[in-house]
Amino acid sequence: MTLLQDITSPADLRGLDRARDGELCAEIREFLVQAVAESGGHLGPNLGMVELTVALHRVFESPRDVLLFDVGHQAYVHKLLTGRARRFGSLRSAGGLSGYPSRAESDHDVIENSHASTVLSYADGMAKAFALRGDHDRKLAAVVGDGGLTGGLAWEALNNIGAAPERPMVIVLNDNGRSYRPTAGALARHLDAIGTRSADRSDFFESLGIAYLGAVDGHDCAAVEEALWTAVRMNRPVVVHCLTKKGHGYAPAAQDAEDRWHAVGRFDAVTGAAERPGTPSWTEIFADEMLAVAAERPEVVGVTAAMTVPVGLHKFAAKFPDRVYDVGISEQHAVASAAGLAIAGLRPVVAIYSTFLARAFDQVLMDVALHRLPVVFVLDRAGVTGPDGPSHHGMWDLSWLSLVPGLRVAAPRDTAQLRLLLRDALDRDDGPTVLRFPKGQARPGIEPVGQLRGLDVLRSPKAPDVLLAAAGPMAAACVEAAGLLAVQGVEATVVDPRWVVPVPDALVELARTHPLTVTVEDNIGTGGFGERLGRSVAAAGATTRVANLSLPTRFLEPGGRDELLHACGLSAPRIAEQVLAWTKATTGAGGGG
C-alpha cells in the first residue's frame, strides 16, 4: 500500500502523478476488500466508486469545494482520500469510523445523509447560499446514483435546479443500473438507452434546463476527470453521466447478480465466503411466511421501495413475480400506491425499513388511515439495528405511528409470533396494521405460561411486586431480568401484549393489580408504548405507578445491538437493576415476594 499510505489529504492525491492513478485505484480496492472483510459494510457500491472518487478529488478541492454523496454508503473511497485509512479497522463499530459521511469525523464530510434521493436538494440549497453570499469561487458537486433518481425528492430538486441556470453545480450521475436490485422504472430504461447511445442524449435533462455530458466510463480516471473539468467550465448546472459497475475489480462482488455484496457481513477476503450465522434472521422467517401466505391468498400482494431482498419479499417475488411491485426508492409512492391496491380489492403488504417509512408519514395518515384501508406495513430494522448507526435505528416508529387514528401495531417477541401476527394483521380489514421486528438473528422462542384476553403471560408469580410489560423482542430480556429480581426477593409478572398500539384494555386492567408496572421497549420514551400505557392507567383511575425503560431521545451511534441495548439500560441486568431501585422506592424497602 505504498501510494495509499502516503495520501493523508486530497492535496496529496493532486500531487500524485496521474500515470499512477491505476496503481492507486488497485491499492484502494485491495484495502477496501480487506477492511470490509473484517468489519462488514457496503462493499459493492464502493468498489464501483474508486476511479470516480479519485477524479472528483483531483477536480474539486475539498473542503473548500463541496462534495456531497447520495447515498452516503458510497463514500468509503472519499474517506480514504481524506486521511481516514488508519481508522478503517474500527469501521461501523461503537466509537469507530461511521459507515456513512460524518461531520464529526472530518471537514470533508458536509452532510450525514444515508437515506437516498436527498443530495440534490442539499445541493440546490447550497448553490442558492453560495450565490447569495457571493461565494463564486467555490465549486459544488453532488454524486447521486441512478437508484437515487427514482425518489420523488430528487425530481423536485431537479425541477428547481434546472430553473436557475445561473447557479452552477455538477451533478455526477453514478449509473450502475442498480439500487439493491436492478433499478426500477421508466427512468432506468431511459438512462440505459442514453448510456448505450440508442436514444437522444439530451431529451431528458436538457429539457429541464440542465446540461448533459456523457455517457462516461466511470472506471477511467482520465475520462471522468476530463468530463468533470468540462462541466465546471460550463458554469451552469450540468449532469455528468458516469457508467460504473458495482463490485468492480473484485470477482465475487462483480459477479453478484443478486446484490448480496451491496452490504455484507464479515467474509473471507480471498474466497469471498461469508460467515454464516447458526440461526435464521427475522427477515428470513418473514420471507418464508410471506411466501406461504401468498400461496394461500391470491389477493395478497407485496410492495417494496427498491429493497426486495433486504426486506424479505424476494421469495414471494420469485414464485409470484406479477404480485410484487418494486417502485424504486420512493417510499411515499409505495404507500400511496398500496392505498390504490387496497381500494381496488387487494391486500397489500408494504415491506420497508422502519426509518424509511417515516418519509411517508403523510401517506400513511391521509391516504391509508383516513380511508381505513387494510394495508399491512411490515417494518424491518425496528429498534436498535446495530452498525449502520443513527440513520437506520428504527427507534421512532411506535411514537409517530401511535398518532395515526385506527392504526394497530404488532410487536412479535420471537419468530413464531412473527408468523402468527403476520396472519393476524392480514385478517384485519378495518384499517391499517403494522408488524415491526428488529434486524439480526432470531433467538429461541418463549412459550407463554398463560393468556389473558389476548396478552401472553410469560411469568406469573403468586404474589407479584411488579409487572414487566415487554414490547416485542424485549420480552426475552424481561424474562431474564425477572429471574435476577427473584434472587433479590422481588417477584415480577412478565407479559407480552403482542399488539402495542393501541394499548390493550387487558394490559391496563392487569397493571391496576400491581403496585408498580414497568414497560420495556426498543423505541424512544416520548410518545412510545410506556408513555401511552401510563396515560391509559391514569385515565382508568388506577394508583399503580407506571415507569418506562426505553431508548434515549438522541441519535444513537453505531455498535452491536446487544451492546447498545445494554448501554441504554435495556439488557436484563440493567432492567433488573432499575426495577429493583424503583421497587424499593415504591415499597419503602425490598420486594414483598
Task: Say whether 139 is catalytic.
Answer: no
Task: Say whether 246 is catalytic.
Answer: yes
Split into its structural domains, the chain has a count of 3
Last residue of a domain, one of 254, 269, 295: 254
pLDDT at 436: 98
Q: Does one domain contain both 416 and 470?
A: no
Q: Determine whether the annotation assigns residue 353 to a binding site.
A: no
Q: Determine whether the annotation assigns residue 176 to a binding site.
A: yes
Residue 529 sits in a domain whose CATH number is: 3.40.50.920
Domain limits for position 467: 451-586
Beta-sheet pairing, 466-470 with 492-496 = parallel
pLDDT along the chain (593 residues), means of 10: 89 95 96 94 94 98 96 93 93 90 94 87 97 95 93 94 96 86 75 68 83 95 98 97 94 83 89 84 97 98 95 97 96 98 98 96 98 98 90 95 98 97 97 96 92 96 96 97 97 98 97 97 97 96 95 92 95 98 73 41
**Residue 343: φ, ψ to 5°:** -60, -35
Q: Determine whether the annotation assigns residue 100 to a binding site.
A: no
Task: Say whether 331 is catalytic.
Answer: yes
Q: Determine whether the annotation assigns residue 107 to a binding site.
A: no
Q: Max alpha carbon distance in the chain (Å)?
A: 81
- Continuous segment of H or E residues that includes residue 63: none
Q: Which of 58, 167, 359, 413 is catalytic?
A: 359
In a domain, 375, yes or no: yes
Q: 202 in helix, strand or coil?
A: coil
Q: Which of 27, 225, 331, 531 is catalytic?
A: 331
Here the cell at position 71 is 447515498
DSSP 277-291: -SS-BHHHHHHHHHH
pTM for this prediction: 0.93
Q: Does one domain contain both 432 and 474?
A: no
pLDDT at 589: 45
At how many degrees (to 10) do helices 529-539 and 505-512 cross? 70
Q: Does one domain contain both 293 and 432?
A: yes
pLDDT at 261: 87
Q: Does one domain contain both 395 and 316?
A: yes
In a domain, 270, yes or no: no
pLDDT at 181: 66
Q: Determine whether the annotation assigns residue 114 to a binding site.
A: yes
Q: 470 in helix, strand or coil?
A: strand
Q: Does one domain contain both 429 and 469?
A: no
Q: Which of 92, 139, 246, 381 is catalytic?
A: 246
pLDDT at 315: 97
Q: Determine whether the annotation assigns residue 483 to a binding site.
A: no
At how many degrees (to 10) do helices 475-487 and 572-587 cross? 50
Query: For the sheet containing 211-217, what is the strand order?
Result: 66-70, 140-145, 169-175, 237-243, 211-217
